Amino acid sequence: MSAKLLVVTGATGNQGGSVINSILRDPELSQKYKIRAVTRNSSSSKAKELALKGVEVVEGDLDDNESINSALKGANVVFAVTLTNYDGDMSKEITQGKALADAAVYNGAEFIIFSTISSPSKISGGKYNKVAHFEAKYTVEKYIRSLPIRSAFYCPGSFYSNFTRVMRPIPTGDNEFAIRSVMAPDTVLPLVDIERDTGSFIGAILFDEDKYNGQTIMGCSQLLSCSDMAKTISEVTGKQVKYEQISEEDLVQNLPPLLADALREMFVFYREFGYAGPETIELSRQAQKLARGKLHSLVEYLADYPLDL
């Protein structure tokens, strides 16, 4: 049987790149699929690296329907990821996601895998409705489910790389640091090595499309409470790192209003309902069992990508 054509969007990004590299390393999936990588710039160093690995590289712009239709021509399976927008405007990402899905259907693709996220508004019964960058992806997911194409969905957990950004330990004294957020110390989050482990979860779907049709798979490399995150970072760095729960007002001080509202509601939602709702821990453990390939712990991630404190 001839190999299926898998078209990967965002191919030079963390998720798309992880999917491609995992398939190339997998003895079975590398025979089952040939890969077409879609990127905005085929002349970039990452795009050239993919081409050297034997991957077909084409240019495609999510804001240009004609280029996306061309990039998906002949696709059997599509891995679709959209660009997250943090300015509170959902329309651009929704438009991009729907255009990708429409192009998949138009070109006769059999299966689409979309990188999604949970809907705080739906899970909270409308209580938390300002996390626009979550709601945009969930809106696209709902749209895909309405189309005449088989589909599966990947819901990645909180990125390990967030410890260099929004969850970065801040200095509180001599060799003393704190991770500060509104979540409770015992709030448990699914964490993911987005660049190295995404492909392990997508690989499971690609190995058995029928099994995962209509399903959502969490991306979880490790489950940790907020206090255990701080403890792990402390052990790896040799610095004193503690977790401190702070007020919502302190969390968002000095942030632009739209971003402040989104981050505040996002973290309060995690605290009250869980990252992806009440079933977060169960779904995360299931995903860890089905992953096709090694998953990286936070300790392993920090060893390879040291946190400079």
Q: Is 307 left (phi over 0), alpha (psi -120 to 50) or beta?
A: beta
Structural domain spans, the chain: 4-304
Q: Would you call 241 helix, strand, or coil by DSSP?
A: strand
Of the candidates 87, 30, 10, 35, the residue with the CA atom closest to the CA atom of residue 255 = 87
pTM tops 0.75, yes or no: yes
Of the candidates 161, 163, 298, 174, the residue with the CA atom closest to the CA atom of residue 243 = 163
- Average pLDDT over the chain reads 96
Whether residue 12 has pLDDT greater than 80 = yes
pLDDT in tens, 33-81: 999 999 999 999 999 999 999 999 999 999 999 999 999 999 999 999 9
Whether residue 87 has pLDDT greater than 80 = no
Give the per-residue pLDDT at 257: 85
Whether residue 15 has pLDDT greater than 80 = yes
Phi first, then psi, for residue 109 (nearest 5°) are -60, 150
- Ranges of beta strands (E only) in the chain are 4-8, 33-39, 56-59, 77-80, 111-115, 150-156, 158-159, 170-173, 176-181, 188-192, 216-219, 222-225, 240-245
CATH, domain range 4-304: 3.40.50.720
Q: Is 77 left (phi over 0), alpha (psi -120 to 50) or beta?
A: beta
- In terms of DSSP bridges, do strands 222-225 and 188-192 run parallel, antiparallel, or are they unpaired? antiparallel
- CA-CA distance, 55 to 20, in Å (whole number)? 9
- CA-CA distance, 3 to 34, in Å (whole number)? 6
Element housing 93 (H / E): helix 91-106
Q: Which two tokens stand for residue 55?
A: 């991957």
Whether residue 17 has pLDDT greater than 80 = yes
Give the per-residue pLDDT at 145: 99
Give the per-residue pLDDT at 255: 84
Whether residue 1 has pLDDT greater than 80 = no
pLDDT in tens, 132-154: 999 999 999 999 999 999 999 99
First to last CA, the chain: 53
Q: Is 293 left (phi over 0), alpha (psi -120 to 50) or beta?
A: left
- CA-CA distance, 36 to 5, in Å (whole number)? 7
